[in-house]
Chain A
């Protein structure tokens, strides 16, 4: 494998909960400076895979190299400089203001109390995501979509090299989904590496550079959106019949009900 181009390189990764195997001997790489989407059926292990990459779950076997470092040897602090992670859902208890939530992204930079530079970084992050007007609102009072954007701003305040996003478009309406994906593309063009779990293959093929498909505890990689036309392949991924509708030189996929 051409190790150098990989932001994350996974080899012989095996993971299971108790006795049920989720991921079986996976070897895959994620290229630096690209927007990679992970696709697959519900329960195929997409979120588990992402959590292992984020260091929140420990695999039973295998090696994960993150920007050349052995993932198992990184401390939380070292890892936070390289990788940021957005969870599928976040449940807030205390009604912190939006800017206080975003500011916690700077925890890896401060000893105990955030400095002015940390505050400036979180203002910049809120501006980038477009939530600056919400900065004094209570996080707990926001809609699911707004909360999602706050957590993404928190990630940008953290300023890691790689972003791992678990379903970043859930809770967002369909126009905001496109706004977010455009933002992700812009971040990638600025040098970030982004890996995101997606449910909607149409959006994924519209915006992604690279695709990982999870099927039968294995990862299948494709670096070409020709897969969008490959109906037979996608039907085996989603275990159902699909139809491709040509649209602007691409294809829109629609499941066929019987």
Chain B
């Protein structure tokens, strides 16, 4: 199913030169401005399409896993401070260029989630409420630090920082794809292996212990894998708001909560859906609308709808 969308996306874009006609000409007649068309399709569009797919898939799959292990359908890795940590890391690198932006965003994203986790750790146990509260604190700290970096940056750097935080995939290339493929794949494979364990863990810690599962150990492994996948995605694509929270719900509405199916489907559906959103953001207006803005505007009403409809589960 994702293949036709990937193929169709190859034909979509603001470039007049690489219009669908020109691409057909390239494929069937080998005529027209072949080199230029080829380069638009293979060096600009294809890496972007693949990267968008990976980013969407990994945000969705990690959101689904985090919702299951914290038994809360309204969480995702962003709520644990990932996005603000990554944004601070990226800003720091953009302003002082001591590290590649992507690496710095990745590291600070991991640091933020790690901080949230250890702040919430009490008697070897992590409760949902304390984790969400520590996530809010950690997000607040990194947002404050981000503001500080922005305050001391010159206007030119400030612009690139703001651009980064808006989340866009327009500067995707083969190198970015290459650097994120390994950590994303590693995270996704672990989550795929643990997909049924998520069902066991979603019933509660004691319910897992009594059937022979060590919930602390399993939750830590799943948290690390989801953070790895999500922070690699954030590092290359910027902040794509609410995406990891909403896609798992859409998948659950389609096939139900059994993670044996939901985990693989989140990856496929999450990838496809972000690709469709990205196709729109590339073509709706003369200039590109940042993808993060798009998902946030679509996601916010959906989130409110969910909040009204579902049990948040904070009292468990």
For residue A238, CB closer than 8 A to chain B, the reply is no
Q: Is B176 an interface residue (CB 8 A)?
A: no
Is A225 an interface residue when CB atoms closer than 8 A count as contact? no
Question: B204, A104: Cβ atoms under 8 Å?
Answer: no
Asked if A73 CB lies within 8 Å of chain B CBs, one says no
Number of interface residues of B (CB under 8 A): 31
A105 engages B194 (CB within 8 Å): no
Asked whether, in the complex, the Cβ of A95 is within 8 Å of the Cβ of B209, the reply is no
Establish whether residues A93 and B71, one from each chain, have CB atoms under 8 Å apart when the complex forms.
yes
A108 to B193, CA, bound (A): 16
Give the contact stretch, choosing among A15-23, A37-45, A64-72, A81-89: A81-89
Q: Which of B197, B210, B311 is close to A83, meaning CB atoms less than 8 Å apart?
A: B210
Contact A76 B209, beta carbon cutoff 8 Å: yes
Give the chain B neighbours of A105 by CB distance below 8 A. 211
Give bound CA distance, A74 to B200, whole Å: 20
A76's partner among B193, B196, B212, B256 (CB-CB below 8 A) is B212
| CB pair A90 B204 closer than 8 Å | yes
Interface string of B257-299 (1 = CB under 8 A from A): 1101000000000000000000000000000000000000000
Please determine whether A112 and B316 come into contact, CB atoms closer than 8 angstroms. no
B242 CB within 8 Å of chain A: no
Whether B316 contacts A93 by the Cβ 8 Å rule is: yes
Chain B interface, >50% SS class? loop
Number of interface residues of A (CB under 8 A): 36
List chain B residues, Cβ under 8 A from A101.
Answer: 203
A92 to B, closest residue via Cβ:
B203
Min Cβ gap B35→A in Å is: 49
* A90–B203 CB distance below 8 A: yes
Tell me, yes or no, whether A229 is within 8 Å of chain B by CB.
no
Contact A80 B256 (CB under 8 A): no
Q: How far is the CA of A167 from the CA of B265 in the complex (A)?
A: 40
Closest 3 CB pairs of A and B: A80-B212, A108-B212, A94-B257
11 A/B residue pairs, CB under 8 Å, sorted by A: A76-B212, A76-B214, A79-B210, A83-B210, A91-B204, A93-B71, A93-B73, A94-B68, A96-B203, A96-B258, A112-B195
List chain B positions with a Cβ less than 8 A from chain A. Answer: 68, 71-73, 193-197, 199-200, 202-204, 206-214, 252, 256-258, 260, 311, 313, 316
Given A76-B209, A101-B203, A104-B199: 18 more A-B contacts, CB < 8 Å:
A54-B210, A55-B210, A56-B209, A79-B212, A90-B204, A93-B71, A93-B311, A93-B313, A94-B202, A96-B199, A96-B202, A96-B258, A100-B257, A104-B200, A108-B211, A108-B213, A112-B194, A112-B197
